[in-house]
Structure formats: C-alpha cells, structure tokens
Structure 1
Amino acid sequence: MTSTPNPHNALEALSEIAAALNSARDAERVLDVVVDAALEALGAERGFVLLEAEGGDEPFEIRASRNFTGDDLAGVRPLSTSVVQEVLRTGEPVLVYEAEQDERYGGVESVVLQQIKSIACVPLRLRARQIGAIYLDAVKARGRFTREHLPFLRAVADQAAIAIESARREAALREENRRLLSEARDKHGFTEIVGTSPAMEGLFETLRRVIDTDATVLIEGETGTGKELVARALHYEGPRAKQPFVALFCGSLPDELLESELFGHKKGAFTGAATDKKGLFEAADGGTIFLDEVGDLSPKLQTALLRVLQTGEVRRVGDTATRRVDVRVVSATNQPLADLVEENRFREDLMYRLNTIRVELPPLRQRRTDVALLAHHFLDRYAVGPRERVEGFSADALDALKRHRWPGNVRELEGTVERAVVMARSSVVTAEDLRLPDAPASDALNLSPGMTMKEVERLAVEQTLDACDGNVSATARTLGVSRRWLQYRLKEWNEPEPAEAA
C-alpha cells in the first residue's frame, strides 16, 4: 500500500486486520499478524515488532520480523533502538522520508550499510502504558512513508496492542488453569485414596479400567468410606478433568428444591422463582455430576433422572423447552440399590442405568492393614505450622488405632487424628491423645467350648446384628455376606427380620 488508503479501503483493511487479530489465540500468532498487517498497510519492505523484554539487559526484544536475515537484524538493532527510544520518549510516531539525509539518523552505520531509505516507527500503547513499537523500513524507495499514513497506522497499532494484551491474558489464564488442574489432580486424584490392602488394590484396578470411559459409575459403601473422594478421582484423572465437577447430596433438600437444583427452573415457575436458573446438570455440561445418596431420591425424581440418562436432555421446572447436556453421572449410596429395588423403594430400570460400573468401597474394619497407613497420611496433613513438632504415633497409639472398630470409617479416623494432633503434648501421639472409646464387649464372640460351627455362625450373626442396631444391610456388609443369605439364615432360625432403621 504505497499510496494513502482512501476511507473505504482503509475501513475494509482495518476490518480484515481486526478479524485476523481476533482469530489469533496466542501472542506469537498475534505478533505475526501485526507485522504482516503493518507491511501491507504501508507497503513497507521489512519490519518487526518490539515488546518489553522479560528480564535481560535490553528493555525491549524483537519478537516477530519479516524479510530480515539474522545479520540484518543485528545490524539494524542500534538504529531501531534509537528510533524506538525516540518514539517512547515522545509517545509519537517517527517518520523518516530520506534516511541518508536525516540529521538524526543519516550517520548511523545501519542506514549506510543496509542502504535504508525510509523508516516508520509507531508506538504500541495500551491505555497510558507503552508496551512496545512497530518498526518498518524500506531499502528501495525514498519517501515511502508519509504523514497521511499515520492515522491508519495508529489504528493498526491500537488494535495490535489490545490483541497482544488479550493474548497475554489468555495465555496467563491457560497457565493458571493448568496449574489449578494440576493442583486439583494432586488433591483429588488417586494419590489421595490411600490403601494397600487387597480390597483397595481391587478398587484401584477397577478405577483404572473405567477412568477413560463415559460409563455411569455407582459407588456403594458405608458413610465415611470416601465415596466422593473416588468420584472426584474418576473426574480429575479422566478426560473430563478440565470441565466442571458438580456434587449434590440428594438427601438434603425437599423434592421441589431438589428438582430445581438438578434441572433448573423458569422464571415464575413457583413462588420465589424470580429469574431463570440453570440446574446442576447444565452447570456440569461437558464434565461430571456426582449424586451422593442417590437412593434417597423420591419416585418422581427417580423418573426425571432416568429420563435424563436415557435422552441426554433436561427440562427446567416450568419450561417446555429441552436442553441437551453431555454429562458423566457418578452416583453413590450407603444402601445397596439392589436391596432398595427389592423393597420397592427404587426403580429397577434406573438402578441398571446407574449401575453400568459398580464400585464397592470396603469399610475400614475390613481393611485394618490400611489403618496405620491412613493415620500417618492424616498426620502429615494436620501436623503443620505450630503442630509440626508432632512426628508420629507411639506403639500403644497404633495398637489402639488397629483395634478400634471405626464405625465412622475413614472419616472418623481422619477426625481422630486431627484431634490427637491438637491434643498431643509431645512429638508423638499417644493412645491417651486419641481419646478413643473403650471397645464394647460385643466386639468379641462369647464362644463356649464344644460349640458347633453352626452355633458359632448364628452367634456371629446375632451379635453383629445387635451391633448394627438391627440393620440387615449393614450386618450383611459387615459379615461379608449377601443380604439374601442373611435373610435365609434368619428365617431358618425362625427369627423375624428386624425393620430397617429410617
């Protein structure tokens, strides 16, 4: 563009430049577009962009160039530095019509050796701050750059400065996202699931097999076994890690509020619905939704959840439109869904939808070899700052930890260690610091000499049933048998099956 651009051509060129800059996602691509746009705008033969240097001796560094060899760049650096300093000092562009005759630059070695005829340099300015400059020159024709080109070149420079800053911010956000994702994986990944017992090795093997799939996963286990920890590991170690992870405890809200939380609502759908609201399924689009205690859902919400799993669509409360969502569903329950189906409290078709992959978390009393490992894991977490002096457990403390039944499972163990670290008076946690209750007498079977295996079996069932407050499901899990087997034995012994606790 050797002549002054007319308004129509200038507007069209600026529009094309803006579109190119808007499509550039990283700083290096933006700089390439800036140089090419400036060369085209002024019909220059060579050019480069200088930006603030990130460290080093020089305040600015060349980040993108066109039609310069390495030797050319080295030779022109003293000239460009002088020109740029003038631009930054005044905040105004520098135009040199005939470089050899210009008293400011005519004697500069670069002008003589490289036969530079014309020079243009315009500042890159972001609000009141100078972030760099665009340098252009011509070696074939004098007077290539004129004052009439300045408004156009300034407009290009202003667009370029904004695009460069935007690309830098986007790069910083991407880096921040990578850092946060790495921290999330460290915090919620497999490394946080501690255990080397055979039961845990089996769990890890199952998780490794399903981590890269979109299959629904049902996690079953007693309260406090770490079901949400497993759900988060499935998300943050898998391909959806960069997308949202949304968790909801299904037993905490009445039906109307729970339906609104899950699926959203339309303005005016009910009293208090002042605005449209997206539900958690929409919020989790592209990622994972974790439904804790899914067995507590009412029949109405079970039907609504089944529809989402079948169609991949949600409908907000009070709305007629449907919205597609791409969500992996991970659910958890402390009551086996098969038992709830048997009792007509849960839809069988929904159970099969949720139960594509079933993961069972063993209670802590079934993985006693992991107790010491978990205790030290939690000690490392809580023995920080003023409690850093607490370095371990005494022998009697470890023995007490291993003997305790842990009805609250891993969650109870974590709380016990945290409390002990606070209460410890020395560098080791003692049994007294743990403040564990004395083991009940029912922990040991009251065996008598001469008892048959059938009698021992019945005694074990009766004492465990009593320890579990009559809960048949919990008793079956504790004994490691099926609920059906336990019901059969109770019937055989003519004992009525206790009513489940609410």
Structure 2
Amino acid sequence: MPAPPPHDASAALAALSEIAAALNSAREPEAVLDAVLDATLDALGAERGFVLLEGDGGRDAPFEVRASRNFSGDDLAGVRPLSTSVVQEVLRTGEPVLVYEAEADERYGGVESVVLQHIQSIACVPLRLRARQVGAVYLDAVRTRGRFTRDHLPFLRAVADQAAIALDAARRETALRDENRRLLAEARDRHGFAEILGTSPAMEGLFETLRRVLDTDATILVEGETGTGKELVARALHYEGPRAAQPFVALFCGSLPDELLESELFGHRKGAFTGAATDKKGLFEAADGGTVFLDEVGDLSPKLQTALLRVLQTGEVRRVGDTVSRRVNVRVVSATNRPLADLVEDGTFREDLLYRLNTIRVEMPPLRHRGTDAMLLATHFLDRFATGSRAHVDGFSAAALDAIRRYRWPGNVRELEGAVERAVVLTRGSTVQAEDLRLPDLPADDALDLTPGMTMKEVERLAVERTLAACDGNISATARTLGVSRRWIQYRLKEWDGGERAPETA
C-alpha cells in the first residue's frame, strides 16, 4: 500500500484499520512490534525501520532495538549514533522528528551514518503510554527524499498510540500467563500426588489406580473413613490431569440445609426465594471445564440426589427459579465415609445415582492398615510444624515412635496431623516425647462382647453406643472414631430412640 495522500482520509482510515487488526491479533510483545513495523513500513512506503524500547542498560544503553526490518547487522550498528540522537530528541520533546532531506539538515547532515548509508528521509515517533515515554518507532528511506511529511503526523501518532496500548496489553497478558503457569505449578506441587504420602502396599495400589484414571473424564467415587485424605485424592486427580488449568470446586454436602445446598450447587435466579437479591452461578457453572468435588455425597437428600442425577445424565444445570438449562462440562469426583452400597440397601440413596457416581471406585485405606506409613507421615508433619520458634524440635523419641506405631488412629491422617502439631507445641525439648502426643488410652482391641446370633444392626448399635459412652456423649468425636459422618450418627440415634432423644454433646 502506498503512503496515504494527505487528502485521502479513507486511505489513511483503511491503513489504520489494518494496523489495528494486526495489533489486535498479536498476543506476544514481539509479535506486536513486528506488526507495528510491517504495517507502518507498508502504509508509509518506508524502506527500513526499527522499534526501540526501554532497556536495562542504564545510562549507557537506556534503549534497546527490539525489532527491525531491512537492516543488516552492520547497517543497524552504523545507524545507532543517528538513531540515538533522533530518539533522544523525540523523548526530550515528546514530539515526532521528521527529516525531509537528511544530508541537508543542519542537525543530522554531518552524522557519519547519514553520509555512508545515504539516508534521505527520517521519521521517528514516540511510543507513549499514559504520559510516559516507553520507546520510539524509527523509519527511514535511502532512495526517496521527502518520504515523510507533516501531513503524515496524525497517522503516525495514531499508529504509535495503538502500538503502545497493544504492547502494554501483550506484556500484561504475557505476565498473567507466566503467573498462571507459576501458580499452576505451585498447585501441582501442593495438591499433586507428591502430597499423598505412603509406601505401603495399600497406597501403592491406590496410586496405580489414580494414574490409570488420570486422563479420563470418568466420574470417581472415593470411599474411606473420615480423615483418610479423600479430598487430597480429588485435588491430585484435578491438578495432575488435563483439567488442571480450569477451576477446582469443592463442597461438603453434609453441612448445609437443602435449600441453601441446592442454590450452592446449581445457582439461583434473582427473586427465586427470600434473600435472592441477584442472579447467582452455582458451583457446577463456576467449575465449567474443571472438576467438582462433592464430599460426603451420601448425605444428600432424595431431592438433591435427583437433581444431581439429572446433571450427570444430561450435562445440564438449571438454576433455582429458572426455566433455562445451561450446559456444563465438569468432571465429578465424590467422596463418602460410608459405602454408598450400604446406603442404597438402607433405602436412603438412589441406586441409579450410585451407578453414575461409581464409574471408578477408589478406596482410601485407613491409617491403621498402612503399616509404617504412620511414621512417615508423622515425620512429614513434624517438618511442617517445627518452624519459627519451634524450629529446634527435630525428631521423635523411640517411645513416641512406638506410640505412633501402636495407636490405631481412629481419626486417621487428620488425627495424626493434629497430634503432631500439638506435640510440637507442647514439647519442652528438641525431641517429641510419647506424653507430648497426648494420645487417648483406647483399648488395644475393639472387643464389643458380641453374642452369637446378633444381627448386623445390633452390632452396629452396640458399636455406636459403646463409642458414644467412651467419648462422653460427644457425637463429633464418636463419628471420627467410627469413621462415619456426624449426620449418620444422629440419624441412627434418632431411629433407635423412636424419634425422641435428649440433647447431645456436640
């Protein structure tokens, strides 16, 4: 395209439109600079050009050539004294420099590069971002005098302004991508398989299963006692898999009433219920492209089980109070501390939902079945908590290690983590002693004085009532000890008491 004539506004506008399109498609700073040079050289009929940007060379080299066209290495080095002089003038005044006949110009005619390279015309325009000079675009012609005129200044200014904005946007996008990659790597380090510690055969089998399902979209059901680390598995599947760059959203299904839980999962329309002041996305929409983790999915009510089944079957969610369904692409990982098959048998969980959730079943082994993993984990937690003022704590006594090995850890890894943190705080020396762990004196065996002929329901009731008594009526402690949810304990107690029960300890 020839240089747009001063009177031809349509040609100038078309050239600016092409330049804007080129800049808009450039996502990297280097691509922006290339687009600027190619477009301006073509629009103005310039023969050579380069872009200088702020550098880190200090006073000796405040600007660096970041992109160039039609310059050999020797030519670029030869024109540097001239370009430095021109750019300094541009940056000092904040105004473009136009040279119609370089050899006749008293400012630059004696510069060696003008003579040796036969430079005829020069145009240099500042790159300005929010009143700050960030660089300059230099153009010249070696065959044509008067290539650039003042009539081209509005065009050059417009190009420079577009270029500065596009360059800033590209730099910001590059910085965000770099930050995203850094955070993603950090998330993988924090939530990946490396954070699930264990060398026991039970854990090796778990790792093998996880690796085989990592790159699939199959729904995963993680079963295991409370405190075994089921959410760690869900996070590892997400952050080690192909959805890692997308959201991971977790929800504990046993802590909210139905109405609020439905709104959290599926969202709601403004005015759908009292307090719904605005439209709200649900967690399935928020996690689109990523993973939804439903902890204690067995605690969902029949109504929400039906709604969840519909999402799994159709891939669509409907907000509360809405008539429009929205497509979502999520991987569902769910967890439960009681086998869902037992809940199906009890009539409290839908069998068809179980089949949807249970495409791949992963069982988290309790800590008491993991051999020496308890000692491995204890050392890991000691390293985590022995910092700052407690950095002098550097190990366990033989008695403490023996206590860790012998204790059954009804609260599993979560209980062990709490015990080590407590011990690091309480110990008076550099070594954790057995008494610092403050482990409860639970019976070595779990004998329940079973009577021949007792049904499983009777055994279940006996186990709950004995454990509840040992925990002084504390339902939360009883649930942790038995590896079930607090809601399940309350449900059973209500069932056994005929619907009436005295106030319980939390």
Task: Normalising by structure 2, report the TM-score.
Answer: 0.88
Work out whether 1:349 is the aligned partner of 2:352: yes
- Point out the more displaced range, 274-283 or 65-74: 65-74
> Of residues 303, 306, 315 in structure 1, which corresponds to 2:306?
303
Tell me the amino acid that sits aligned with residue 44 of structure 2: L
**Unaligned 5+ runs, structure 1:** 447-453, 472-477, 480-497
Query: 1:382 maps to what in 2?
Result: 385
Cα drift, residue 231 of structure 1: 0.3
Indicate whether 1:13 and 2:8 are aligned.
no
> Which residue number corresponds to residue 174 of structure 1?
177
Shift in CA distance, 120/377, structure 1 to aligned 2, threshold 3 Å: same
Q: How far did residue 214 of structure 1 move?
A: 0.5
Local SS of the residue matching 2:335: strand
Aligned to 2:239: 236
Give the residue type in structure 2 aligned to 1:38: T
Partner of 1:115: 118
* 1:34-71 residue CA offsets vs partner (Å, 9 max, x unmatched): 11122123211111111111457511111111111111
CA contact (8 A) 1:41 1:153 kept: no
Q: Which residue identity lines up with residue 41 of structure 1 in the other structure?
A: A
* Equivalent runs, 1:33-432 vs 2, <5 Å: 33-55=35-57, 57-432=60-435
Which shifted more, 36-45 or 213-222? 36-45
Shift of 1:369: 1.3
**Cα offsets for 1:63-94 (capped at 9, x unmatched):** 11111111111111111111111111111111
Larger mean Cα displacement after TM superposition, 280-289 or 363-372: 363-372
Q: CA deviation at 1:6?
A: 2.1
Q: Structure 1 counterpart of 2:69, which letter?
A: R
Q: 31-40 or 151-160, which moves further after superposition?
A: 31-40
Structure 2 Cα separation of the partners of residues 203 and 276 of structure 1: 41
In the alignment, which residue of structure 2 is the partner of 1:489?
Answer: none
Give the conservation status (yes or no) of the 8 Å contact 1:118–1:138: yes
Question: Tell me, what secondary structure is at the counterpart of 1:242?
Answer: coil
CA distance 1:122–1:381, shift in 2 (3 Å): same
Deviation per CA, 1:460-496: give whole Å up to 9, x if none.
x99998556579xxxxxx99xxxxxxxxxxxxxxxxx
Cα RMSD between the aligned structures? 2.5
Q: Which runs of 5+ in 2 are unaligned?
A: 468-480, 483-494, 500-506
Matched residue SS, 2:244: coil
Q: Structure 1's 258 and 187: CA in aligned 2 closer, same or farther, altered over 3 A?
A: same
Judging changes above 3 Å, is the alpha-carbon distance between structure 1 residues 465 and 225 closer, same or farther for their aligned structure 2 residues? Answer: farther
* SS in structure 1 at match of 2:275: coil
- 2-structure distance, mates of 1:288, 1:500: 40
Higher mean C-alpha displacement, 167-176 vs 426-435: 426-435
Could you tell me whether the CA contact under 8 Å between 1:442 and 1:467 is conserved in 2?
A: no
User: Shift of residue 389 of structure 1?
Assistant: 1.1
Q: What is the match of residue 474 of structure 2? A: none
Question: What is the aligned partner in structure 2 of residue 484 from structure 1?
Answer: none
Cα displacement string for residues 233-290 of structure 1 (whole angstroms, at most 9, x for unaligned residues): 0000000000000000111111111111111111111111111111000000000000
**Structure 2 residue matching 1:231: 3-state secondary structure:** helix
Distance of 2:292 and 2:357 partners within structure 1: 12
Cα distance in 1 for residues equivalent to 2:172 and 2:387: 35
Note closer, same or farther for the CA distance 1:385–1:501 as it changes in structure 2 (3 Å cut): farther
- In structure 2, the CA distance between the partners of 1:284 and 1:143, relative to structure 1 (3 Å rule), is same
Amino acid at match of 2:41: L
Change (3 A) 1:441 1:118: closer
Q: Name the CA shift for 1:375/1:463 in 2 (closer, same or farther; >3 Å).
A: farther
Give the Cα separation in 1 of the matches to 2:7 and 2:22. 19
Higher deviation after alignment, 37-46 or 244-253: 37-46
Structure 2 residue identity aligned to 1:318: G
Q: How many residues align?
A: 469
2:475 maps to none
SS of residue in 1 equivalent to 2:61: coil
**What's the TM-score once normalised by structure 1's chain length?**
0.89
In 2, the alpha carbon distance for the partners of 1:133 and 1:428 equals: 64
Check whether the contact 2:393–2:432 (CA below 8 A) recurs between aligned residues.
yes
Deviation at 1:4, TM superposition (A): 2.5
**Sequence identity of aligned pairs in percent?**
79
Contact 1:470–1:499 (CA under 8 A) maintained in structure 2: no
SS of the residue corresponding to residue 213 of structure 1 reads coil
Q: Are residues 445 and 418 of structure 1, via their aligned partners in 2, closer, same or farther at CA, if it must alter by over 3 Å?
A: same
What SS does the corresponding residue of 2:278 show, helix, strand or coil? coil
SS of alignment partner, residue 53 of structure 1? strand
SS in 1 for 2:18: helix
CA distance in 2, matches of 1:465, 1:273: 42
* Paired residues of 1:470 and 1:500 also in contact (CA < 8 A): no
Cα distance between partner residues in 2 of 1:137 and 1:86: 16
Q: Is 1:434 equivalent to 2:456 in the alignment?
A: no
Q: Counterparts of 1:71 and 1:469 in 2: how far apart (Å)?
A: 90
CA contact (8 A) 2:448 2:463 kept: no
Contact kept? 2:265, 2:282, Cα under 8 Å: yes
Aligned mates of 2:136, 2:444 — CA distance in 1: 83
Separation in 2 of the partners of 1:366 and 1:431? 22
SS at match of 1:52: strand
